[in-house]
Every structure is written in structure tokens, then in C-alpha cells.
Structure 1
């Protein structure tokens, strides 16, 4: 497996784990189960770790992909910027979750506040992860780009447009 393949294999975890964690955390709030809420925090920690792995493999994949013909550096750069923003949120969610796990096990009074704070932060991570995933997909999958529904400019269409002006 080359660097790009590793990145493609790893990059889905940071996108899926916030969804799973949010679902588990919601069940934990509904059932008032400390164990279930701790499981959600554990998933958020794993999300942060998988984000680290995806970021590392992404740097190596960038070097590999830039050597291939037909790839736009602009799309790669946009994806990299989105990934860096997402990573900061994922790392913050992971750190908050570690503190929350510790507080929950030690039965600290502020553990409930951390469970509550983790929920909106995970929603933000999920949204930013979607943005990152979409921008990454646009590197190779031209059909999902915003311009995909536009007719490509050909010499004939350019002539026709020039005649109408």
C-alpha cells in the first residue's frame, strides 16, 4: 500500500466516529447511564487518535498525489486547510473527553458538564469532518464538485457564447 492508499483507508474513521459517539452519548443521556456516556467519550478519544493518523498519512499522500498527472493543487490545498481546522476541533474533543473520562471515574462534580459540553463540540467536529471529507473527495471525484453540473467549455460552446454577446 502506498501513502495515498493508507490515507484513503484511514480517513473515514475521523468522520464516522463523531456520528457513533453522538448516538451513544444521546443514548447515555436518555438512559442516564454513566457507562454508556463514558463509551461515547472513549469514541471521541479514538476519533482524535484516528484524526492524528489521517493527518499524518495525508501529508505523505499529498506528496504522492502531487506527482500524478491530472490533480489540481488548489483542491489539495483546500482539503489540507479544511483538514487542519477539523483536526483542531477533533483534538479538542479528544482532550475534553479524556478529562471527562477521568472526572467520571473519579466521580467529580464537573463530569456532567463535560458530557454536556462534548455534545455540541462533537456536532461541530461532525460538520467540519463533512467539509473535510467533501473537499478530499473533490480532489479525485470531479462529479461531486460544485461545478460538476455545468457544461464543460468546448471550442464550439465558446464560439456560441461569443456570438450571443
Structure 2
């Protein structure tokens, strides 16, 4: 298994883990349930670990695809920039989550504040996760790029051709 394959396997968890963790943390805060909040914190820590693995394999994945047709260096660079921002947010969220686990274990009075901080950072993380996932998908999936052209079916193409011919006759 090469770095590109490893990157494709692990890069989804930071995105999914952050989204699920945010939902679980909010549920834990609403329910005032420390165990549920701790579950979210554990997900955030795991997401940060997988983000580090994704960052470590990203360069190797880039080397594999940068010279492929329809994969431009600009698309890869945009994804890399978003991934770096996401990594910083997830590393921060991982540290905040470790603090959250500790203050919950100690039943510290600041546990609630840590939860609110984690929610804010997780929301920022979800934003960057979405951006990173989209730009990563655009590398190999040309159909989701902003400038994608619909191939359309044969009927659509025939109708467009007929419409174009009738406009030319007028």
C-alpha cells in the first residue's frame, strides 16, 4: 500500500470524526451528561491523530497524482492549504479535548467552559473539514469541480444540437 492509498483510507476520519464529535458534544451539553461529552472529546482526539496521519501521507499522495491528466498543481495546492488549516484546528481541538477529559475527570468547575470552547473550535473545524473534503474530492472527481460541464444524456445533446441548428437558420 503506497502513501496515496493510505491517504485515501485515513483522510475521511478527521472530517467524519469532527462532524460526529460536534453533534455528540452538543447532545452531551444539552443532556448535561459528562459521559456523552467525554465520548465527543475522545472522537476529537482520534480525529486529530488521523489528521496527523493524513498530513503525513499527503505529500506522497501528491507525488502520485500531480502529473496525471486533468489534475493541476493549483487544485492540489488549494487542497493542501485547506488541509493545513484544518490540521491546525484539529490539533487545537485535540488539546482542548484532552483538557476537557481531564477537567471532567476532576469534576472541575471550568468543565462547562471547556465544553463551550470545544464547540466553537469544532464548528470552525467542521467548516475547514468541508472545505478540505471538497477540494480533495475535486482532485480526482472532475465532475464536482466548479467549472464542471454536464455531459448530459444523448437526448439532451440532440435537443441542444437541434436548438442550435434552428437558431442558425433564423
Q: Considering the TM-score relative to the shorter chain, is it more than 0.5?
A: yes
- Which residue in 1 is equivalent to 2:59? 59
Q: Can you list the C-alpha shifts for 1:5-35, whole angstroms capped at 9, x where unaligned?
A: 1111111000000111112112211221111
Distance, in Å, in 1 between the alignment partners of 2:72 and 2:140 is 9
Partner SS state of residue 148, structure 1: coil
- Which residue in 2 is equivalent to 1:96? 96
Greater Rg over alpha carbons, structure: 2
Q: Which runs of 5 or more structure 2 residues have no equivalent in the other structure?
A: 152-170
Distance, in Å, in 2 between the alignment partners of 1:100 and 1:21 is 13
Q: In the TM superposition, what is the alpha-carbon distance from 1:149 to its structure 2 partner?
A: 3.7
Asked whether 1:8 is paired with 2:8, we answer yes
- Which residue in 2 is equivalent to 1:119? 119
Asked whether 1:50 is paired with 2:53, we answer no
Distance, in Å, in 1 between the alignment partners of 2:141 and 2:100 is 39
Q: In the TM superposition, what is the alpha-carbon distance from 1:69 to its structure 2 partner?
A: 4.0
Q: In the TM superposition, what is the alpha-carbon distance from 1:67 to its structure 2 partner?
A: 4.2
Q: Which runs of 5 or more structure 1 residues have no equivalent in the other structure?
A: 152-165
Q: Which runs of 4+ in 1 moved over 6 A?
A: none
Asked whether 1:19 is paired with 2:22, we answer no
- Which residue in 2 is equivalent to 1:157? none
Which residues of 2 match residues 72-111 of structure 1 at below 5 A? Answer: 72-111=72-111
Q: Can you list the C-alpha shifts for 1:109-140, whole angstroms capped at 9, x where unaligned?
A: 11110011111211110110000011111111
Give the total of aligned pairs. 151
Distance, in Å, in 2 between the alignment partners of 1:135 and 1:5 is 17
Partner SS state of residue 107, structure 2: coil
RMSD after superposition: 1.5
Q: With the length of structure 1 as denominator, give the TM-score of the two structures.
A: 0.86
Q: In the TM superposition, what is the alpha-carbon distance from 1:70 to its structure 2 partner?
A: 3.8
